[in-house]
Chain A
Amino acid sequence: MQSMKAKFVSFWRALFRDPVLSFGVVSLLLLLALAIAPAKDHFSEWRHYQQQYLRLIRDRGDAVTLQRHFQGGIRQIWLPELGVVDRCQSCHTGLGEASLVDVSAQPFRRHPVIPHRLDEFGCVVCHRGQGAATTAAEAHHSTLAREEPLLPARYIEASCGQCHHVALAGTPKLNEGRDLLGRYGCVRCHTVRLPDGSTMTATDNPPPLTHIASKTTREWIYAWLQNPSSYAASVTMPDFQMGDEDARDISAFLIANSEPLPGGLAAITSTTAKSAPDPAAGPSLYGESFCASCHAVQNAAGNLVGGDIGPELTRVGTKVKPEWLRAWLRDPRTYNSHTLMPRYRWTDQQLSIVSAYVESKADSDFLANVRLQPATAQQIANGKALVMQYGCAVCHDIRGISKPANYAPELSRVGSKPLAQIVFINGMAKTLPDYLNGKIRHPRAFGPGLRMPQYTFTPEQVDALTTALLSLTDRSFTLPTHLKIPAQPSATYQPAGHAGKLMAELNCVACHRMNGRGGDMAPDLSWEGSAVQRPWLDDFLKNPNTLRPALIRRMPRFNLSDSERAELTDYFMTVYQKPDIDREAMPLSGYSPALVEQGRQLFYSKYSCQSCHMVNTQQDKGYIGPPLTQVGSRLNAAWIYHWLKNPQALRPGTIEPNQNMSDEDAGAITAFLMMQKTAGKQEAKR
């Protein structure tokens, strides 16, 4: 110890023994201290990457161009409007170089093609991370308070959704996630407010439970509550992981709380003729009525066959009471005024056949082990408390229980939720996407007493939902207005008058779009009156089996009366017209043979329409567009002409291309097509 001290003292004296020497030493120390900053700068990470980049491009064929583009030093994109200060390009030097397509090493890879410019949007708007950081670790992974790590690539579409609230072709995952939020009723419990001030609405259609006792039994409700997906694979109702007693009490309450149907089932079904129907008649009427366009049934191989507009019917005979089913099939709106099911005008005989066939789709195993004692008053009271606790009334109408508001946390800005507010479970990665993903997969794993039920989403669906939730960020609210692209407001169009009531009863908008509202399964009817001839429409409503015989989803026959049909036809022909098409402008027949022949040649040679359409069933095979064998009896000449000139203008998104046809060519092809008439009609004219 003594020697150490002695050494230090002698060292001190050697340095500071006279003023001149001390001055020199202190100056040297100062100089060293001043050198620290430039040295740090010189050895910085980004400079290292820039040198690597210069070495990488040195030997390339396009070196001169790349070197000319290269700018050294810290490079920064500053967008005060978006709050962006991005220095990412200090290391990612080749982001904008299209010719670096063969370089896979990061950070030198070029940016894949996107519809935006880097200098207009910066990097962190899409990728998150800390734009102002100058080291990779800090820029990519920092999770300090108010900072966020990079968004993993699998969720990158979430970033598009901050500005774009309409579905884009390039973001299928985001589109699916948004669709699922509505289709599974997520937004019934969780409010999601969008930046344009609107609120996301659910697109599912949970049935009211007001008259549930007339529809099904307590045993079925009990089994269903315990595991909805064991009844049908495609259900949207989640599993509340309910115990026996809860299911027992809730089913007791729902049955006791149900009120009888106005008029009663017996009154509606009293005219039943109890004749045993022909066993083949059921499937054939079910098929003819195109029930499968909306309802799916599991086939022998376990695959669902049919549409997803209505509920799956695989085990429906186990669920519904026969007398209820008959009443329902006769007029669905008596039971549920919001149902999508149209009213088929079946005869009593047909009603018996269809209901017997649907009732036969049963599975006795589903209720095999259910034995319930009669409900006690205490069970019913407890059931009511449980119904409120589980929040059943958020989705279902239940008599005497009001819809709870804000039942679950609002998710309008969940994509920017600070990590400090999140309770993670052990063993999971502590990031927001992992939290959302885990929460959707196993909601109850995040703590006792959580009420969110268990869904049966596939991993792809969970990813899609996470993407949709991650798009709900703070930034989406603070964007400058010109960058916000709001979703199409949902149209509330409703056809007017008596015909409008009839169309509501048939629920045309479940499949057809009209004036911006409706489904996309069947053609848009907004301009149907300009397109078709009146006799054809009348015939079609009588027997809608003529167009596109190979499609499996088709228009059902509603058995309309003559007056109903006339009323609908008149309404269509008058109301659904395109203003700039005068359907009388071109005649329906009487074209000169020369013009027709010219049209035929154009049809078969120059435009090769036969690749998609059939005119002559003997030689044409094209089967993408509808067959045109009788198009002259179906469409108006003016409509055909305008369609040929620009199909997308008449039906946006139709796959027939706009061929830039001249007026002359379009006129000739129209003449040729108008000659393709129904055989019977042609003879009648002669």
Chain B
Amino acid sequence: MRRLFWIAGTYVLLLVAGCGRQPAASPAAHATAFGAAIVESSGGKQLGTPGAALPQPLVVQVNDAQGNAVAGAPVSFSGPAGVGFDPTDGVTDSNGQVTTNVTLGGTSGRYELRAASPDKSGRPFTVNITELALGYQEQVGYSVDQNYCARCHDQESSAERVSNYDNLAVKPHAFIDGQTLNMLTDADLTAIINHGGPALNRSALMPPYGATLSKAEVQALIAYIRLVSDPPWRAAGVVYAKR
């Protein structure tokens, strides 16, 4: 009986050990330095598709208290369920940067990711990074934006598409300009898209698109504007963030 007890005991112990969380190979093991601040270098605010990798990698940089890049500092990435990082942990290179490839979760919306690095005392300091996953509707809105709106509303000029922004006497608002656009209700935006600037007593340089775009396209465009808005629109959709 006693032997049985021993066998059962060992079994339970093994089971507990097996199920217990594997202590992840801590990046701190390879870490040789610690910083005081972490910033996003590039790869934030990208437009991606649900479940797919973002087009550009995400790069963050660790700085010391003087703002100089720190090499050899550990960085770990985290995000809401469904988000994948490759790699999840890293150590900053000679430029103080860590690069990771991000795969978004399976649903459309705004994803809030976090990169963290411990300081000397082991307390983590963090930076939040927002990425956007376009659903069907936002994708339609994006294509409307690229066809009709971006030539004036986007300041970026390229050889393929010269921006008209600088040519306009009254400057249009960029679609990420949440400070302004969040003040407008969906009905306001619909009116200004359908009937032009004068509908809201604004510039006539914004022409009416109501007879050109379908109702669904206008709704899709508004959904897209709401998604990319910064600061976020209050009802822009689900915010996926780790609690």
Contacts of A597-632 to chain B: CB distance below 8 A:
605-608, 611-612, 621-624
Q: Specify which of B52, B160, B168, B238 is in contact with A104 (CB 8 Å cutoff).
A: B238
Do A624 and B164 have beta carbons less than 8 Å apart? yes
Q: Specify which of B139, B162, B207, B209 is in contact with A611 (CB 8 Å cutoff).
A: B207
Contacts of A108-155 to chain B: CB distance below 8 A:
109, 112-115, 152-155
A376 within 8 A of B: no
Q: Tell me how far the C-beta of A66 lies from the nearest C-beta in chain B, rounded to whole angstroms.
A: 17
Which residue from chain B places its CB closest to the CB of A614 in the assembled complex? B167
Chain B interface, number of residues (Cβ within 8 angstroms)? 49
Which of B27-35, B122-130, B143-151 has 4 or more CB atoms under 8 Å from chain A? B143-151
Q: Which chain A residues border B144 with CB–CB below 8 Å?
A: 169
Interface range on chain A (Cβ under 8 Å from partner): 35 or more
B232 within 8 A of A: no
Do B207 and A552 have beta carbons less than 8 Å apart? no
Do A101 and B49 have beta carbons less than 8 Å apart? no
Q: Mark B180-220, 1 if CB is under 8 A from A, else 0.
A: 00000000000000000000000111111111100011011
A2 within 8 A of B: no
Which of A355-363, A481-489, A651-659 has 4 or more CB atoms under 8 Å from chain B? A651-659
Do B167 and A623 have beta carbons less than 8 Å apart? yes
Q: Which chain B residues border A172 with CB–CB below 8 Å?
A: 139, 143
Tell me the complex Cα distance, A103–B55, Å: 28
B53 within 8 A of A: yes
Which residue from chain A places its CB closest to the CB of B52 in the assembled complex? A154
Beyond A101-B238, A104-B240, A612-B164, whether A658 also contacts B139 by CB under 8 A is no
A297 within 8 A of B: no
B223 within 8 A of A: yes
B88 within 8 A of A: no
Which residue from chain B places its CB closest to the CB of A152 in the assembled complex? B51
Do A658 and B212 have beta carbons less than 8 Å apart? yes
Do B152 and A103 have beta carbons less than 8 Å apart? no
B159 within 8 A of A: yes
Do B204 and A606 have beta carbons less than 8 Å apart? yes
Q: Tell me how far the C-beta of B202 lies from the nearest C-beta in chain A, rounded to whole angstroms.
A: 11
Q: Which chain B residues border A263 with CB–CB below 8 Å?
A: none
Do B51 and A114 have beta carbons less than 8 Å apart? no
Q: Tell me how far the C-beta of B102 lies from the nearest C-beta in chain A, rounded to whole angstroms.
A: 13
Chain A to chain B: the 8 pairs with minimum beta-carbon distance, closest first: A153-B51, A621-B167, A154-B51, A153-B106, A154-B52, A658-B211, A611-B205, A608-B204
- Beyond the given pairs A104-B239, A154-B50, A552-B160, 16 more chain A to chain B contacts, judged by CB atoms under 8 angstroms and listed by A's residue number, are A101-B235, A104-B107, A104-B238, A104-B240, A153-B49, A153-B52, A170-B136, A459-B53, A552-B159, A607-B207, A608-B204, A612-B164, A621-B166, A622-B168, A646-B211, A660-B208
**Residues of B with Cβ closer than 8 Å to A?**
49-53, 55, 105-109, 135-137, 139-140, 143-144, 147-148, 151-152, 159-160, 162, 164, 166-168, 203-212, 216-217, 219-220, 223, 235, 237-240
**Residues of A with Cβ closer than 8 Å to B?**
101-104, 109, 112-115, 152-156, 169-173, 459-460, 463, 550, 552, 605-608, 611-612, 621-624, 646, 648, 653, 655, 657-660
What are 13 sample pairs from A and B whose C-beta atoms fall under 8 A apart? A101-B237, A101-B238, A103-B238, A104-B239, A109-B238, A112-B107, A154-B51, A169-B139, A172-B143, A623-B162, A648-B212, A655-B148, A660-B211
